[in-house]
């Protein structure tokens, strides 16, 4: 029983994973177009690169959900999502070719497509009557991560240059990925019944 009680920290840990996941993908949002223009990309290309994030999500969100439901391996998809967010954030620091940045933004869209697995795994920790509250809580942290990521990305870029925003996003992605390995398989609904 004591081992189960010690798992109570995993709900706050899931919040940290969620916040850093979205933070890592959104630090580049306020500066990406300016950075691409600085690299000499045309406006058509800039639009394509920025839109690639949404296009990849559109193409992958349903297939990811279907495969995840079929094999019930939510944590694997969460791991891939966190790895993709890390790579898409920090990768821009190391490449300055527009075609590579296009691929990295597609990777960020693939990461975002795994969000369904975050919500399903997190809500499974709660009894059915508490799933609405669970989704509300996790949605708060996803939005908070996006907002803080955008604000931080703009601030770091203004203070230290474009690359700093990408580095900060990569660091957040690495934190989220390292925390993910401590997520529990034990449904928290079991923990809630403990004294």
Where the chain has pLDDT below 70, the residues are: 1-9, 182-195
In this prediction, residue 9 carries a pLDDT of 67
**Domain range annotation of the chain:** 16-187
In this prediction, residue 4 carries a pLDDT of 39
The pTM for the full model equals 0.86
Say how far apart CA 9 and CA 16 lie, in whole Å: 11
Exposure b/e, 82-121, CB count within 10 A at least 16 = b: bbbbbbbbbbbeeeeebeebbebbbbbbbbbbbbbbbbbb
Percent over 70 (pLDDT), the chain: 88
Q: Which tokens belong to 129? A: 């009557």
In this prediction, residue 26 carries a pLDDT of 94
In this prediction, residue 127 carries a pLDDT of 82
- What's 192's DSSP letter? H
CATH of domain 16-187: 1.20.1250.20
Q: If you average pLDDT over every residue of the chain, what do you get?
A: 86
The answer to whether 49 and 105 are in contact (CB under 8 A) is: yes
H/E run at residue 88: helix 74-94
């Amino acid at each position: 029983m004591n081992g189960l009680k010690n798992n109570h920290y995993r709900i706050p840990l899931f919040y940290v994973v969620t916040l850093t996941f979205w933070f890592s993908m959104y630090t580049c949002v306020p500066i990406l177009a300016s950075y691409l223009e600085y690299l000499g990309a045309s406006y058509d290309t800039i639009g394509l690169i920025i839109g690639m994030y949404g296009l990849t999500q559109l193409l992958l969100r349903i297939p990811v959900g279907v495969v995840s439901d079929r094999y019930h391996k939510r944590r694997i998809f969460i791991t891939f999502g966190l790895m993709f967010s890390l790579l898409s954030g920090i990768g821009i620091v190391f490449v300055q070719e527009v075609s590579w940045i296009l691929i990295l933004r597609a990777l960020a869209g693939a990461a975002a497509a795994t969000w369904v697995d975050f919500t399903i795994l997190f809500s499974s920790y709660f009894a059915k009557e508490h799933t609405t509250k669970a989704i509300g809580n996790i949605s708060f942290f996803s939005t908070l991560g996006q907002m803080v990521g955008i604000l931080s990305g703009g601030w770091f870029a203004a203070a230290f240059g474009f690359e700093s925003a990408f580095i900060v996003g990569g660091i957040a992605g690495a934190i989220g990925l390292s925390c993910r390995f401590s997520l529990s398989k034990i449904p928290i609904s079991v923990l809630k019944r403990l004294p």
